[in-house]
Structure 1
Amino acid sequence: MPISANYSALDESEFRAWLGEKALALGFDGLRITDTHLGSASERLQAWLADGRHGHMEYMERHADLRADPAQLLPGSVRVICVRMNYLPSEIDFDAEWGRLEHPTEAVISMYARGRDYHKVLRQRMQDFAKVIEERIGAFGYRVFTDSAPLMEVELAKKAGLGWRGKHTLLLNLDSGSMFFLGEILVDMPLPIDEPQADHCGTCQACMNVCPTQAITAPYQLDARRCISYLTIENPEAIPIEFRSAMGNRVYGCDDCQLICPWNKFAKRTSLPDFAQRHGLGQSSLLHLWSWTEDEFAQRHEGSAIRRIGYRRWRRNLAVAMGNALASSLVDEQDKQLIRQALSAGLTSADALVAEHINWALKQG
């Protein structure tokens, strides 16, 4: 598709300012623009894949060539409009989040997943944004992405200047820390390119030191196979025994590296109700979540990112956390007995994967 004649006639600086204003009006918290060239990032990806650090995320290997060259995803594209959207809801208190990790019978779910599925929220707003641009300049070539295609979005956002890559490999922003989602629009317009941000991690290694499984093997190096977020979400198989105790009561994802990061004292609260926690997921006990039937799991996680892992992995993760509660001296005998009873009752309907984790849990105390 040829570049819109309306775009060719635009004042670029005025149009760039307009893009930023429209992004804010649609609920985004920042917009930057870069080209589609990733340079050495694709080589680093290939080395990471060759080392097997992606674990069971075979999709990353299947589409590595597309990740290396975003322009293949939209022929004729020359720029990437990168946006971020804060997700931290007002009710979150970091001290309380740390405190929940010290109460083994409580369930800890990653903060980003307690509300509506971010894929749904961002995808619709990204589409709306593209339509608004189309209304301004006429038809143009574009494609919208929200963690839904083989696109190295953190690298693109870093290059665009939305932030810098922290030592935990997440994107960090001077004004908002790391608690935001990313979205991209590939476009065929030669928009002005923004400059990257400098790295501001300095000598800090707090994220590396706090990681329960030492998944951050070196600055800017993550072994997904050790990461609790990977183990509880992406991993379809048994949780390796050597990591089960370190999981503690984390049943979906892990926020430790973000909670400890000094830059997240600047994390901005979201104004969007979509990311507010639902069904008490910030205060639930392990026993309460274990009591959900498969139908209740599907109903209560309707429109949630958690539903993607399915009931089987959900029960697997809960069983590990309950085993860790049984092993803890912080849990009294009455609560341990309730956990044992719940786990034993769950064996009757468990498949082989879940049953193995239940039996492991029962042996912990």
Structure 2
Amino acid sequence: MLQHRGSCGTAADVTLDLDVPVLDAACDGACWAAPAATVLRPGHRHRFAHLDANATDDLAACVRGECDEPQAGSGAGGLTARLGRTDGTLGDALAQGGYAAVALAATLSSSRMIEVIALADLIRRFDARALMAPVLRLDVTSSTIDTHLLGGDPHRVIEGVLLACIAGGSREVRLCIAPDAPGTASLIRALEDAHAAGILDGTALGGDAIDIEIVEALDGPSAASVETMCALTTVFDDPPPPTRLLALAGALPRPGVYEVPVGGAMTWAGVLAMAGVMLARVQALRVYPRTGAPRLIWSSHLDDSLDPAALGGEVVVLDWDADINPVRDSAGAH
């Protein structure tokens, strides 16, 4: 069983007194559920939210297999499949399929790997130009999405970096991250483990040796995002998940990180429904994309399809009590 920590879970500070092993794990993106724990069994994944001392009996029963909760899933997923569901070790990441894509990609040429990325539709969903640079540049921000990915599944980030290097022919990586940024410690520990296992120098899985340097600033053209790196790890999935991430906050019952489908019929209203939002109470959404200026999406446009360019960042839900004028001054309206 995994007890989710992260900033929300740690602040709640609930101790579970059970006769089964309880491992600390990062937040799984469901910030609204804290304090929370997830029971993992073959074919069964069940998150228990808002834990208190009275939850131990239900948790223990689920661990024993005495749980028929219909909402418990099998654990299938895309970018967030392992998010907050590993114990942080390389061994656990490998047991859940980590670095399998690198082992396969190491047998391909750069041109063939680029074709695979194009077939997975990553070039349309993400700005993939940064992957083609002689030196791969990765900009890690303190955003909610980056913090969750680094803390909850750092080996997926590293795996994506290696895949990007195979595609672009890079052998050098400049990873920009502040020393005190959330998730930095998890990423550095994962890099050390991957290096010790021979994953970074190519001896374990094949491919060229990759030199990853952590820097505090990047100069030059735009850099790749952490989300793009994680998406690269899904290119050999059948099919690759056509998804993007966004972080929801503001006036809503279930804030957190959501993985949503794009390029189809998913609308802003559909995303808000996932977070338990009553649409009649929404005045507007304030969207902060990873790149570009913030924008306002009024309630009259909630049935519009998702625009991938608006994703990858933060979305704040504004209800009718919010003072919209300061927001209007700093964000374009749509």
TM-based fold match above 0.5: no
Larger helix proportion of the pair: 1
Larger strand proportion of the pair: 2
Q: Which has the larger radius of gyration?
A: 1
Compute the TM-score of the two structures, normalised by the length of structure 2. Answer: 0.31
Larger relative contact order (CA 8 Å, sep ≥ 6)? 1
Compute the TM-score of the two structures, normalised by the length of structure 1. Answer: 0.29
